[in-house]
Amino acid sequence: MIGKQIRLERIMNRNTGKTVIVPMDHGFTLGQIEGLLNMTKIVSEVSEGGANAIVLHKGLVRGGHRRRGRDIGLIVHLSASTSLNPDPNDKVLVCTVEEAVALGADGVSIHVNLGAANESGMIESAGQVVRDCNRWGIPLLVMIYPRGKGIDPNSPATVGHCVRVAEELGADLIKTNYTGDPSSFAKITAACSVPVLIAGGEKIGDLETLEIIRESIGAGGSGVCLGRNAFQREDPRSFIEVLYKVVHEGVEPARALRRGQ
């Protein structure tokens, strides 16, 4: 599996074993949203800020490719749904691993919602993608969340269940919700053999965002997948620079923010 190891080094920092990933797949779901209207510009900003990788749908790889400046890992997202669907939690495959390889991807990602009406279909699709990833030597990021009627999306039990399902499927990286407290999250990461990253969630303040990320890393997390909380900020590059210091250098959030001003 040397191919996976080589490609993972373009997604994870080889010195810290952690990563800062900026998903930019939101347009498929939400349309022409703020922050993702000029893909070349935003990709340049987060890459120059020090992000390790971005997540794009296949059709935006060309538009987001800058041909100059600092390099950045590319993860092609294979799953999609739209907010116009009565059930936006129903994700289907819109790209293959082979297509992603042809586009120059360093990894691929899929989205699974446990507890959703079409959970079984998403799990079945995930199994197919894992087989293809192993065949091509491509790392797989599984974005997996507890979503459904009556389900607490931050419960340690449901988040832990998500992580275990992703691990048993064969994920190389797992993105999920933070449980909200380091003690419960530490039990989840300790029981998992692959890196666990937290989702950025809705846009909140700089310091609050950085404190949550630092707390998750202290509890065994391996980094963050930060979308709207990164690309919708007034100065995405500067925020990513600060985030890099917190994740990879262990700088206290308040101190990192002061340095970045």
For the chain, the domains span 2-260
CA distance 3 to 139: 9
Active-site hit among 18, 58, 91, 175: 175
204 — pLDDT class (breaks 50, 70, 90): confident
- What mean pLDDT do residues 187-201 have? 96
Task: Output the CA–CA distances (angstroms, integers) from residue 250 to 168, 242, 246, in the order listed.
Answer: 31, 11, 5
Pick the CATH number of 2-260 from 3.40.50.10540, 3.20.20.70, 3.40.1410.10, 3.40.50.1820: 3.20.20.70
pLDDT digits (tens, 9 = 90+) for 167-180: 999 999 999 999 99
Catalytic residue chosen out of the listed positions 18, 25, 91, 106: 25
Could you tell me where the DSSP H helices lie in the chain? 2-8, 26-30, 39-49, 61-64, 97-102, 119-136, 156-169, 182-190, 206-218, 228-231, 236-249, 253-260
pLDDT confidence bin for 202, thresholds 50/70/90 = confident
User: Do 51 and 239 contact (CB within 8 A), yes or no?
Assistant: no
Residue 172 annotated among the catalytic residues of the structure: no
Residue 17 confidence (pLDDT) above 80: yes
Q: How far apart, in Å, are the Cα atoms of 169 and each of 35, 85, 133, 197?
A: 33, 27, 12, 17
Q: Is 178 a catalytic residue?
A: no
**pLDDT of 64-77, one tens digit each?**
776 777 889 999 99
What is the percent of the chain with per-residue pLDDT over 90, rounded to a whole number? 89
DSSP-derived pairing of the beta strands 73-77 and 19-23:
unpaired
Band (258; pLDDT cuts 50, 70, 90): confident
Out of 145, 172, 244, 245, the active site residue is: 145
